[in-house]
Structures are given as C-alpha cells and as structure tokens.
Amino acid sequence: MPSIELAGRAYFYEDRGEGVPLLLFHGFPFSSESWWPQLEAPFRGTRILAPDHRGFGKSAPGPMSIEAMAADGLALLDALKIERAIFGGCSMGGYVTIAAARLNPGRVAGLLLVDTQSTADDEAKKQSREEVAQQVEREGTAKLVESMLPGLVQPPARARVEAIMRAQAPQTVAAASRAMALRTDGKDLLSRYAGPCLIVVGEDDAMIPLAKSQVMHDLVSGSTLEVIPGAKHLPNLDAPQAFNDAVERWVARS
C-alpha cells in the first residue's frame, strides 16, 4: 500500500484501476479496506484512490476534523499531480466528500455519495456522539462495534467488517465521533453544485435511511439516485455487483 507524507505524517492509500480518478473516502470507524470488493475489481473506467483517513488503518494520527480529512484527500491529489477527480465516500466518507468539494470545488469532476447525508447533527445527536467518544476513551471500541455491527451489513460481510472496526485505535475513533458532531451542514453546497452526482443507498439502511438520500437528490439538480435492494449501511459490501453496476453506469454516462 503506497503512502505520502503530509506534515510529517504518513498517509496511506490504495491505488487501483485505470481511468477517471475517483477519490473514495471510507466511513466510521473503518479503513480503506471497507472497499475491498471494489479494490479487488475496480469500477470499469476508474482509478480508485482510497485513503485511510488520519489515524485510521495504516495512516498516522493527526488533529481530527472532517475538513482535515478532506484536506488530506486533496493533498493526495496534489502529490499524484491529479487536477480533477470524482470525489466520493460512504457515510462519514460522504461528509468528507462534501467538505472536500467545499474546500476546492474546481477539482470536482463528480460526486458519489453513498449512504450519507447533507444535514448536520442536531443537539441530541451531538450529545450522543460525545457519549460515544467518552465511552470509547474509557473502555475501548468493543461496545461501539457490537452496537453498530448488525445495522451496518448483512451477515456474510460481518466478520470482516468487525475485524476492520476492532483494528481501529480508540483515540482515533473517539476523535472522529467528535469531528462528525462538528461537521458543517452541506445542504447549501449541494444546492449550488451543478455537476454529475450519483447518490447510492442501501434499501435497508436504518442508520442513514433512504429519506436522507432523497433530500440530497432533491438538492442536486440532475443527480441520479440508486437504491440497492437488500443492502444495509454498506451496500458496496452487501451487494457489490449491484453497487458496482450502478457506479459504472453513472461513470460511463458522466
């Protein structure tokens, strides 16, 4: 797995396939490995660049915010001399995608928003993120993993997702929980955005349900909404074929 150095920190990323660059951000609390079917067989016509956010996977930790994770992704494009890319991500990775588009709209060749939302957290959600952060700092990630896992994926992908989650450092997980609570609402950005946009959601996602994707679909004129049957929060793992087909169809016509 290649890496670059960002302000003295190692930042690791997967680089697979050939074609339009696609910067693909993972969700919480995973690593780039959570894209494993797509890394094994990249979407036709794309070069997938899937980093481990700071502190996750193999990447070294650093001060955590959604904007900082987005800036790291943009720095990766700089390092690889890539001017424009499709920005995409799942769930927290979608928050990072929207933040990256805000930081540098001129570099966005398209948006791929997977089981994510444009709406910021309300006070109750912010409070529960703080409670998660404190619990993880006190006791590690075991309870968080147990509580999230059934809602994330169908049974076949569960063991590998669980292993990915358990491998993440508690300090990073706590910091990312707080970072999500502080994220900026993305509705203004999406309503101004006029380029290609694919929104994908698992039909059975109870964590960030279809209604949140519908909001984004309504905001981005000309966007495509694909609902993946039988999939939960990580449709790229529950139904990789349907997920990949949806992305490939969109890339081919964008």
CA nearest to 94, candidates 7, 205, 171: 205
Q: Least CB distance from residue 116 to ligand MLT, whole Å?
A: 7
Please list the residues that pair with 17 across neighbouring strands.
Answer: 47
- Name the residue nearer to ligand MLT (CB basis): 168 or 196: 168
Interaction between residue 92 and ligand MLT (CB under 6 A):
yes
Report in angstroms the alpha-carbon separations of 174 from 147, 164, 203, 214.
Answer: 15, 16, 29, 29
> Hey, what are 120's tokens?
């910021």
d(CA 112, CA 55): 24
Q: Least CB distance from residue 175 to ligand MLT, whole Å?
A: 14
Give all strands of the β-sheet with 108-114 in edge-to-edge order.
3-6, 9-17, 46-51, 20-25, 85-90, 108-114, 197-202, 224-228
Length of the chain: 254
d(CA 221, CA 111): 12
**Looking at 31, 32, 91, 97, which residue binds ligand MLT (CB under 6 A)?**
91
CB 3 within 8 A of CB 12: yes
Interaction between residue 64 and ligand MLT (CB under 6 A):
no
CB 26 within 8 A of CB 17: no
**Looking at 11, 13, 28, 87, which residue binds ligand MLT (CB under 6 A)?**
28
Give the binding-site size for ligand MLT (rule: CB under 6 A): 7
Q: Least CB distance from residue 171 to ligand MLT, whole Å?
A: 17
Interaction between residue 181 and ligand MLT (CB under 6 A):
no
d(CA 7, CA 22): 24
**Looking at 17, 27, 51, 196, which residue binds ligand MLT (CB under 6 A)?**
27
x/- map, 191-210, ligand MLT, by CB under 6 A: ----------------x---
- Name the residue nearer to ligand MLT (CB basis): 70 or 180: 180
> Hey, what are 90's tokens?
């799942």
Site for ligand MLT in 231-250 (CB under 6 A): 233
Interaction between residue 180 and ligand MLT (CB under 6 A):
yes
Q: Least CB distance from residue 252 to ligand MLT, whole Å?
A: 28
Q: Least CB distance from residue 218 to ligand MLT, whole Å?
A: 20
- Name the residue nearer to ligand MLT (CB basis): 91 or 141: 91
Interaction between residue 149 and ligand MLT (CB under 6 A):
no
Give 18's DSSP letter: S
Residue whose tokens read 């669980």: 162
Residue numbers of the site for ligand MLT (CB under 6 A)? 27-28, 91-92, 180, 207, 233
